[in-house]
Structure 1
C-alpha cells in the first residue's frame, strides 16, 4: 500500500479537527472548551480561586469527548454508550457551572471572580444547550433498539 493511499484512508489529526469543528456538535464542544479556559483564567486571577475545579474537570471531560468524536473512537469503543456519556457530562456540567457561577456573582467577589462567574453562567447555558441537543439522538437510538427483532428469546 502506498503512502498516499494510507493518507486517504485515515485523515490526519488536523484534517479531522477541521472537519469535525465544522459540524454543529464539534462547534459546541470547541466553544465549551474555550469558555472553560476563560473561566479557568478568570478564577485563577481572582483572590478566591476555590472554584477552579469545576472549570478544570469540565474542560478535561469536554476535550476527551471532543477527541473521541473527532477521531471516531466512539465507533471502535462500542461497549460505552457515548450519547448517554455525553449527555450526563453536559447535564452535570451545566448544573455545576450554574451553581458555582451564581454563588460567585451573588457573593460579590473581586472583578476577576465576577467575570469568571458571568462566563461560567454562559458556559452553564451552553452546556445545558448541548445536553438538550443530545436528547433527540438518545430517543432515536431508543426507538431503533425497540424496533430491532430479538434473537429468538
Structure 2
C-alpha cells in the first residue's frame, strides 16, 4: 500500500517539475530565440555596466534582464495562457519599445562620455541589445497590426462591388 502512494506522490512531483520546465518548441521559435537573446545580451550589458565607471546605468539592464526572464518563463511554460486578463503581446510590445529606447540612450552616453574600456564594451553590447529589442518589437508590432486588421495580411481582401456601380450584368 505504501508503494502505491509513494509512486503517486512521486508522479505528482514530476508533473509539477515538468510544468515549470521551458517547452522546447517555444525556445526554438523565433520569439523564444529573441527572448533568449534579450536575456543573454541584457546580462552581458549588466555585467559590463557593473564593471565600468558608468555604473550609474546598471539598473536599466538589470530591470530589462528580469523582465525578459519573466516573459521567457511565462511564454515557455504557457503561464500567459492561464491569465487572460492581461493583453500579453501589448505588454511585451511596450517592454520592448521602452527597453530599446533606454538601451540606445545609455549606450550613446556610455560610449561618448566615459573613456574606460568597460564602458565602451557596455555601450557596444548595449547597441547590440538594442537591436534585439528593436527586432522583437518590430515582429510584435506586425503581429498586433495583423490582429487588429482581423486576419492574415497575406490574404487578399474579398472583392466587393460598389453600390453605385451602374453595371446591369445578369
| Structure (1 or 2) with the larger CA radius of gyration | 2
Q: Which residue is 2:49 aligned to?
A: 43
Q: Which residue is 2:157 aligned to?
A: none
Q: For structure 1, list consecutive stretches of 5 or more residues without a partner in the other structure.
A: 146-153
> Deviation string for 1:19-57 (max 9, x for gaps)?
321111011001100001101111111123111011001
Q: Which residue is 1:18 aligned to?
A: 24
Provide TM-score, normalisation by structure 2. Answer: 0.75
Q: Which residues in structure 2 correspond to 1:23-38 (within 5 Å)?
A: 23-38=29-44
Provide TM-score, normalisation by structure 1. Answer: 0.83
> Deviation string for 1:56-75 (max 9, x for gaps)?
01111111111111111111
Q: Which residue is 1:78 aligned to?
A: 84
Of 98, 113, 137 in structure 2, the residue corresponding to residue 131 of structure 1 is 137
Give the 4+ runs in structure 1 shifted more than 3 A: none
Of 51, 74, 77 in structure 2, the residue corresponding to residue 68 of structure 1 is 74
Of 91, 100, 103 in structure 1, the residue corresponding to residue 106 of structure 2 is 100
Paired positions, count: 144
Per the TM alignment, residue 140 of structure 1 is displaced from its structure 2 partner at its CA by: 2.8
Q: Measure, in 1, the Cα distance between the counterparts of 2:148 and 2:42.
A: 31
